[in-house]
Chain A
Amino acid sequence: MVVKIRLARFGRRNSPFYNIVVAHARTARNSKPIEVIGTYDPIPKADPYGNPKELHKDINLDVDRARYWVGVGAQPTDTAWRILSMASVLPKKMVGLQREKPLKPIDANSVKIH
């Protein structure tokens, strides 16, 4: 069975909290995983005595275990990939819909029309 690195949603209504887990792909989201390798708190917070407008999100990650699981072929989901790439466990990957770059205006002199 495929082993995945994915997020398991805990917390309460409107206050999510995720465990970063290594689990078999076909098991339920919040079932007991093979291993918990970290957490991700998606709610932005300000430092207690810092600027209240500068917000941060906390990620706890066991980088060594993450490297190990990636090394033995665990497949991160897109979200997990983004988190792991921030911890430089994996290279960056463009995830989701990519915005198309607008075409440059055509220079009439450089175009040959037969």
Chain B
Amino acid sequence: MAPRICGTSTTLASLDASLQTCSRLAAHTTRSFSLTCRNEKITKNRYEMVKWIKERATNSFDKSHPTYLGPHADQPFPSNPLFRSQSVLSESMKNRIYTQVMDHGVAMKAVSEEMQVDVRRVAAVVRLKELEHQWKLEGKKFATPYAKAVMKMLPQSRWAQGDMNIPHEPINDIPVHKLSMQQLFVPVSESRHFTREDAAKAFHEGLLSADKRSPQRELIEIERQAAEKDGDRAKSIEEFRKEAQEAEEAYANELARKSELEDANIKKQQKGRFEFRIKRYNSENVGKYGRARNVTGWRYGQALQERKRGMVKIPTSVP
């Protein structure tokens, strides 16, 4: 049977012929109004969607935690099972980290241990909160409703004192080193005890072992001590906190001493709207040819490289 065109009784062959003879007429015939009747029954997909809305979604839009469409609780995109949403620090957790570190002067390592957050994340939270305070002082506007909306859409880690909290991140994660990405076949005698140190050596002479590359070595050590026969977790935690506090205080003192030394070299004078800071320095330390890199002042007879192509201007350190 020849295939039928909706609304017409012509065959495809005759249609083809008419296309060649008169394109305007052909366009008219192919663009004819569809006379197929509407499907009375809804499709399966639509039925499931309606069912889902009735069952799950009606009351969940104004909850504080997100409801994802995916089959798993942490899968935001239903057809992408590889994308799993990871929880972020809740606002209360961030506030507590900041107050512990800045107001109570608790060592960052100790806060990290207590709240089970990576110490680098603790440092980042403190820095960002500090920036937020700075912005408040500057009178900048905050996109608070936006931030709240975004936080609503993400799963959040929560922490309460004294509870058995779920750790925000595991302590035994290590960054993957480029040298350890290769596939190696190392013949080893059966009697030999092949340790992590040996594995690192096999990859590269200079590569540290996984134990040493971990950013949270002390926390792992606590766990190791607790797992021993007569290990006391509480005692080792206390020891760790004490050591962290001492180390941080020593570091803070050293920083204070350095800045004091620097301040002694600077004479401050308030004049009108601005303070003038006069720093003494030795203008004779200019290197062999008078062009040392860290010398004060614009240099003569040497082109500035800052406009050169490919010069990276992203700062590598923070003040």
Contacts and interface: CB of A to CB of B under 8 A. Distances in A.
A52 interface: yes
B39 interface: no
Of B269, B275, B298, most buried by chain A (CB within 10 Å of CB) is: B298
A17 B298 contact: yes
Shortest Cβ-Cβ A-B pairs, 4 listed = A10-B298, A62-B283, A48-B319, A56-B275
B297 A59 contact: no
Q: Which bracket fits the contact residues of B?
A: 20 to 34
B67 to A, nearest CB: 41
B24 interface: no
A35 interface: yes
Contacts of B130: 49
Interface residues of A, number: 32
Contact of B277 (A8, A35, A51, A56): A56
Interface string A32-64: 110111110000100011011111111111111
> Binding site of B, secondary structure by majority: helix, strand, loop or mixed?
mixed
Contacts of A8: 298
Given A38-B297, A52-B138, A59 B276 contact: yes
A70 interface: no
B275 A62 contact: no
28 contacts: A10-B298, A11-B298, A19-B297, A32-B300, A33-B300, A35-B283, A36-B296, A38-B296, A38-B297, A49-B130, A49-B319, A52-B138, A53-B137, A55-B274, A55-B275, A56-B268, A56-B276, A57-B275, A57-B276, A59-B276, A59-B278, A60-B296, A60-B297, A61-B280, A62-B281, A62-B284, A64-B282, A86-B269
